[in-house]
Structure 1
Amino acid sequence: MFFMLDSFRGQMRGVSIFIVIVIGVIFTFTGIGSISLSGAGSSELATVNGQAITEKEFLLELQRFRNRIQSEDTSITSEELNDDILRPIVLEQLIGSAVASQMALNQGMAVSTNMLNRMLMSVEAFQTDAQFDENRYRYFIRNRGQTNSEFKLQLANEMLSGQLFDGYRLSGFITNQMLLSVAELVFQTRSYYYLTVPRQPVLESIEIPETEVRDFYAQNGSSFRSEEQVSVDYIEISAEILARDITVDKNELAAQFRDEAETFKPSTSRRAAHILLPDLNRDLISEIMESISDGETFEDLAQKFSTDVGSAAIGGDLGFTNGSTFPESFERALEELSVGDISEPVATESGIHIIKLLEIEQSRFSEEEELPRIEREIVEERLDSLLNEKLSDLRELSFNAESMVELAAQVGATVSVSSLMTRVAGDGIGSFKSVRDAAFSDEVLVDGYVSEVLELEPDRFIVVKVKRHIEARQKEFDEVSLDIKRSMASNLADVKLRSLGEGLISRLELGETVEQLAKSDGFQWQVVLDADRTTASVNSEVNTLAFSVIFAGTKAHASFQLGSGDLVIITVNDRQPGNYAALNSDEQISFKNSIVSSLLNRELQSYHSGLIAAAKVRR
């Protein structure tokens, strides 16, 4: 099916997947109230070759960028996505996008209305029961603060940029000599010996006199200060908390179900399979039809003859259509079939189709499917109203509140206590910078007032009041003496290891071997033969270091300190270049593709940077 749809979309191959993912991420993470464009108008933040980037465009892209980051790493909170960091990045992205779409237009690329509409209809976020749902689409663009035309223009520009970059990628190549040279380096093998000097015995042998520890403390006492800390009482109002107490009466659900059932208009969906042929080959078509008459299954014939590789693998199955997914001639032929029937050959711009109707599905309005949705919508509506009401009360009553207990009772909430936090770090609500800033503000910390309402995340709000304050102070010697002693011993151990390593390297250069050093000094040693960069049977950290040693054709020695602190002494004895010809055909193809992709991505980045540099940009 994907092959067929791609051919319908012309040059959209590759771009569509990106667009669909981006829209899906936005739809998932953008809720009611999570993006506000009130006051955002058409004021220009920048121009690119005379084309304006407006404040509204910028705010939409900023929100989308935040959502994308949080979708990739759910541990990142909204508070951590600092606007001062994100805003310059987003503006540069918008400038780059504008330059790319302008260049695509200048090179004669275009996005037709049909291509754009097919793209929108394929986005899962805009579908209900696998069919395009205009209400979901309108809901989406309304929450983004965009009109239909604004959203389509943005999408068209992204599709144009995708066409430009896809065309650039497809034009790339790599010479055979370059491929062989890279393979020699990547698949190189090395043979080496190494010994390990453990750090722990060196560390344990070090004694730091008490007088030196006291001298260090006396000279650096100001460095040993405890940080100022506070804990706070806080009241939280959030959609998650409020939703726990919202229930919907069964009679109300039933009444809403009846109202919607009266206006429900059923629709018909048809599930199609096809065999796609490149042209009207009557002999081949006759052979296929005769095979069907002889009892061979349509699925087997699709796998054997169809040039739509995506659907052929699953028996030609294209899934369901509501009458607008495929070209008009395809849809007309499908509507004329009964379940199990097979059409005469049908021509579209993709080729010749032999179509089979697999099943017909009538949409239905059942309690089993609709009641959960209706209940969810009622809860969301009440929750939105209740949250606004509670938030309004909290803002008004917290202004002059003296008691957090009384304030909590007035807004129907509870008082919680945070763990201790510093000005730069904390757990729980203390992980939010806005909470720490409020807790350490003069208004809250010095004057003892309740903070203003803080928005931690969309639909999550709190106020805080200081409960406990611990002043910063210089720590006593007894509190830090053990830490000082450990630090001094650790530093001295590293110095001794480096000195020991230099001595061992000198002995190797004078003719001793790793094996001789290890046996005479009581160290563990290993020999590694013909290892490549990914050999799993050797210590990966040591192997990486061995491949970093400069080898000029004779033995090469080097010392390194591992992440564990242990010292390794390595002697590389031999190096053999990688052999591209030794790879099997699949490995050669995979390697070539990865190298081409890596080189082209660098070139593409350089090309795009050049376009931006040549553009007339006013910020």
Structure 2
Amino acid sequence: MMDNLRAASNHVVLKIILGLIILSFVLTGVGNYLIGGNGDFAAKVNGDEISRAQLERAFSSERSRQQQMLGEQFSTLASNPGYMQQIRQQALSQLIDEKLLDQYAKTLKLAISDDQIKQAIFSQPAFQTDGKFDNAKYLGLINNMGFSADQYAEALRKQLTTQQLITSVTGTDFMLNGETDALAALVAQQRQVREATINVSALVAKQTVTDEDIKNYYEQNKNSFMSPERYRVSYIKLDAASLHENVSENEIKSWYDQHQSDYTQPERTRYSIIQTKTDAEAQALLAELKKGGDFAELAKAKSSDPISARHGGDMGWLEPDTTPDELKSAGLKEKGQLSGVIKSSVGFIIARLDDIQPQQIKPFSAVHDDIAAKVKQEKAIDAYYKLQQKVSDAASNDNESLAGAEEVAGVKAVETGWFSHDNVPAELNFKPVQQAIFNGGLVGDNGAPGSNSDIITVDGDRAFVLRVSEHKAEAVKPLSEVTAQITDTLKTGKAQQEAKALADKLLAALKAGQGEQEMKAANLSFGQPQTLSRNGQDAITQAVFAMTPPAKDKPSWGVSEDGQGNVVLIALDSVKTGTMPDVQKQAMVQGVTQNNAQIAFEALLSNLRKEGKIKYGAAAQAQ
């Protein structure tokens, strides 16, 4: 169901609402409906408040998404307050749409059953380990988000209800069989044509142009003959990966001792629980357990927590960070030990300690080689930064050349050939390097060398120091340099005009029924028949399917151009109604109905916004 709904629309709001991973929608603020307002709200939708906290979470999530999508470009955009306010408004608009849809779902009395909630939770990849539901992971994640099991289930119920609403709106479009067949016949239509090509290249050689023609074209189109700004650059490259540092056994052992926590698995405990809504229920179950009752069977039958109940109360292995405070304070020390009735935020709990796994530390011998590699890398990076500073100082002290920097770095500078903005050498194809080259700060007067750059760091622990050896500003190429190019352009233009004039003459004759003699005089003839289908993207196919179908035993005539610029006369001999395999026909119908579904969904949102009472608060504009 959800896959079909995703395909139904590319609408940005719909994409966010239909996110199946409930974890993400909670983090972006969709699940924070439990947070109340204090008067400082973002918006009120038909009286229901969207709090500042909800907006801040949604804004933070959208900002992170934009940063991940745009990469380095985001930093530039983020410096513009208007751009950040636009992101904030987009986040608020999405929250308003979600609120409107939730309210509308309530008026329709849409509902999600407990079984649907359970299935949605069990199927979430975020709550699974090796493809199977992991109760400990589930509880740890929702606890970290500040949710109890009941609160999380209620948030999920709201999400699924909204999805049910959208499905009911977008899943109602359909096509009648007659409409489907007619559209399939049109889409799969085929046309049989013959072509006669007027070769423009053959006409080019016959054209003549004068020196005056060439000069006038040059003067009128100087901007087309610009020589781009060009550079030659000398550079020294530093790379941490090229530095090889030796490490001693004492250094490796010292690193292990200082980072032993990285190789330590803390003590883990395994509990089973039975959760009830009242203290009386819990006391009755505890009494039954003390009489020898089967914990797992009672958990499956009586526990109000659907997740752990499914596994006989078992919560899986828990580390200290993921163990609920109620279990930590229960004081269970021995395997099989039962707790008393524990009051918790979700009701009342009876817990049993099932197992304890002591803390485990990987021995030094098992991690020796990995640590050796880490220490080598750390020493190489440390040496790299020290070398970087020395090279920077040398380049700054001797600003007339890279000789001093070469001596300190222990490598010779590399000099590039001439290049422009559009063909930067691959070894310098880093944004910070390009910015240093092209911002003008390293260029001397009249194309002379300028000063050395500062150290320029790039990804991967690499750095450059460079200087512009030579520079040529953007300039118009001299006429002598572009005469041949202009001559070819003018001759080609004249040849195309001659070909089009001939085509128009022949087309008129063909339509008048006198084309055979004219075609013969032009030394042209139509080729063999060929069948074209509508899915062709070339200009000739597009022209053929725009032509009027031929009358009986009488072609339709047209003219177009091929991909080489030649002029092509077209004889359309026949039109054949197409057929389409059922699978392809179904895909076509799905595409049409999905497009209509998108229109229906957007119309619903538009109408809800139009009829709704939306009041914006101070938090809508806060930065």
Check whether TM > 0.5.
yes
Quick one: which of 91, 99, 103 aligns to 2:100? 103
Distance in structure 1 (CA, Å) of the matches to 2:367 and 2:135: 19
Q: Write the letter of the residue equivalent to 1:64.
A: R
Q: Name 1:350's counterpart in structure 2.
A: none
1:485-496 mapped onto 2 (5 Å cutoff) = 485-496=487-498
Distance in structure 1 (CA, Å) of the matches to 2:118 and 2:500: 65
Distance in structure 1 (CA, Å) of the matches to 2:132 and 2:385: 37
Deviates more, 1:251-260 or 1:167-176: 251-260
Cα deviation code 1:557-598 (max 9, x no counterpart): 32111222122222333334446xx744x4443332232223
Distance in structure 1 (CA, Å) of the matches to 2:368 and 2:162: 41
Distance in structure 2 (CA, Å) of the matches to 1:259 and 1:176: 68
Change (3 A) 1:516 1:532: farther
Q: Give the C-alpha shift of residue 471 in structure 1.
A: 3.1
Q: Give the C-alpha shift of residue 510 in structure 1.
A: 1.0
Of the two, which has the highest radius of gyration?
2
Quick one: which of 509, 512, 530 aligns to 1:510? 512
Q: Name 1:479's counterpart in structure 2.
A: 481
Q: Name 1:573's counterpart in structure 2.
A: 573
3-state secondary structure, aligned to 1:207: coil
Q: Give the C-alpha shift of residue 193 in structure 1.
A: 2.7
Q: Name 1:467's counterpart in structure 2.
A: 469
Distance in structure 2 (CA, Å) of the matches to 1:160 and 1:430: 54
Change (3 A) 1:171 1:234: farther
Quick one: which of 120, 125, 134 aligns to 1:122? 125
Change (3 A) 1:406 1:114: farther
Task: Tell whether the 8 Å contact from 2:101 to 2:162 is kept in structure 1 after alignment.
Answer: yes
Q: Write the letter of the residue equivalent to 1:558.
A: G
Distance in structure 1 (CA, Å) of the matches to 2:176 and 2:225: 61
1:47-446 mapped onto 2 (5 Å cutoff) = 51=50, 58=59, 60-65=61-66, 67-68=68-69, 94-106=91-103, 107-108=105-106, 118=121, 122-123=125-126, 148=145, 165-217=166-218, 220=221, 224-235=225-236, 241-242=240-241, 245=244, 252=253, 263=265, 327-328=307-308, 330-332=310-312, 378=374, 382=378, 386=382, 389=385, 393=389, 397=393, 400-403=396-399, 404-407=402-405, 415-418=413-416, 420-422=418-420, 426-428=424-426, 435-446=433-444
Distance in structure 2 (CA, Å) of the matches to 1:164 and 1:394: 66
Q: Give the C-alpha shift of residue 490 in structure 1.
A: 2.3
Change (3 A) 1:114 1:231: farther
Q: Name 2:523's counterpart in structure 1.
A: 521
Distance in structure 2 (CA, Å) of the matches to 1:587 and 1:467: 61
Distance in structure 2 (CA, Å) of the matches to 1:81 and 1:132: 42
Task: Tell whether the 8 Å contact from 2:265 to 2:361 is kept in structure 1 after alignment.
Answer: no
Change (3 A) 1:485 1:468: same
| 1:562 aligns to 2:535 (yes or no) | no
Q: Write the letter of the residue equivalent to 2:501.
A: S
Q: Write the letter of the residue equivalent to 1:331.
A: H
Distance in structure 2 (CA, Å) of the matches to 1:48 and 1:418: 62
The unaligned stretches of length 5 or more in structure 1 are: 4-12, 24-43, 71-76, 142-146, 269-325, 336-363
Q: Give the C-alpha shift of residue 420 in structure 1.
A: 3.8
* RMSD of equivalent CA atoms: 6.2
Change (3 A) 1:15 1:220: closer
Q: Give the C-alpha shift of residue 98 in structure 1.
A: 2.4
Change (3 A) 1:221 1:532: closer
Distance in structure 2 (CA, Å) of the matches to 1:380 and 1:92: 49
Q: Give the C-alpha shift of residue 196 in structure 1.
A: 2.2
3-state secondary structure, aligned to 2:174: coil
Distance in structure 2 (CA, Å) of the matches to 1:502 and 1:515: 15
Distance in structure 1 (CA, Å) of the matches to 2:65 and 2:544: 44
Task: Tell whether the 8 Å contact from 1:79 to 1:432 is kept in structure 2 after alignment.
Answer: no
Change (3 A) 1:178 1:457: farther
Q: Scaled by the length of structure 1, what TM-score is found?
A: 0.57
Q: Write the letter of the residue equivalent to 2:125.
A: S
Deviates more, 1:515-524 or 1:474-483: 515-524
Q: Give the C-alpha shift of residue 609 in structure 1.
A: 6.3
Q: Name 2:342's counterpart in structure 1.
A: none
Change (3 A) 1:248 1:333: farther
Distance in structure 1 (CA, Å) of the matches to 2:585 and 2:121: 37
Change (3 A) 1:592 1:220: closer
Distance in structure 2 (CA, Å) of the matches to 1:117 and 1:412: 62
Cα deviation code 1:453-481 (max 9, x no counterpart): 65655866655432221233443332111
Q: Give the C-alpha shift of residue 184 in structure 1.
A: 3.5
Deviates more, 1:176-185 or 1:157-166: 157-166
3-state secondary structure, aligned to 1:573: strand
Distance in structure 1 (CA, Å) of the matches to 2:22 and 2:390: 38
Change (3 A) 1:593 1:216: closer
Task: Tell whether the 8 Å contact from 2:539 to 2:561 is kept in structure 1 after alignment.
Answer: no
Q: Write the letter of the residue equivalent to 2:195.
A: Y
Task: Tell whether the 8 Å contact from 1:101 to 1:160 is kept in structure 2 after alignment.
Answer: no
Q: Give the C-alpha shift of residue 186 in structure 1.
A: 1.4
Task: Tell whether the 8 Å contact from 1:444 to 1:466 is kept in structure 2 after alignment.
Answer: yes
Task: Tell whether the 8 Å contact from 2:392 to 2:405 is kept in structure 1 after alignment.
Answer: no
Q: Give the C-alpha shift of residue 79 in structure 1.
A: 9.1
Distance in structure 2 (CA, Å) of the matches to 1:449 and 1:19: 56
Distance in structure 2 (CA, Å) of the matches to 1:410 and 1:422: 30
Distance in structure 2 (CA, Å) of the matches to 1:160 and 1:419: 64
Change (3 A) 1:477 1:172: same
Task: Tell whether the 8 Å contact from 2:264 to 2:362 is kept in structure 1 after alignment.
Answer: no
Task: Tell whether the 8 Å contact from 2:247 to 2:372 is kept in structure 1 after alignment.
Answer: no
Cα deviation code 1:267-295 (max 9, x no counterpart): 99xxxxxxxxxxxxxxxxxxxxxxxxxxx
Quick one: which of 581, 590, 593 aligns to 1:593? 590
Distance in structure 2 (CA, Å) of the matches to 1:110 and 1:411: 71
3-state secondary structure, aligned to 2:467: strand
Q: Write the letter of the residue equivalent to 2:230.
A: Q
Aligned length: 484
Q: Write the letter of the residue equivalent to 1:479.
A: E
Distance in structure 2 (CA, Å) of the matches to 1:133 and 1:451: 57
Task: Tell whether the 8 Å contact from 2:229 to 2:420 is kept in structure 1 after alignment.
Answer: yes
Distance in structure 1 (CA, Å) of the matches to 2:408 and 2:367: 35
Cα deviation code 1:403-439 (max 9, x no counterpart): 4454576678885545544456634366556544432
Change (3 A) 1:466 1:48: farther
Q: Write the letter of the residue equivalent to 2:566.
A: D
Distance in structure 2 (CA, Å) of the matches to 1:514 and 1:246: 85
Distance in structure 1 (CA, Å) of the matches to 2:65 and 2:589: 35
Q: Name 2:547's counterpart in structure 1.
A: 549
Q: Write the letter of the residue equivalent to 1:559.
A: V
Change (3 A) 1:434 1:398: farther
Q: Name 2:501's counterpart in structure 1.
A: 499
Change (3 A) 1:226 1:234: same
Q: Give the C-alpha shift of residue 599 in structure 1.
A: 2.8
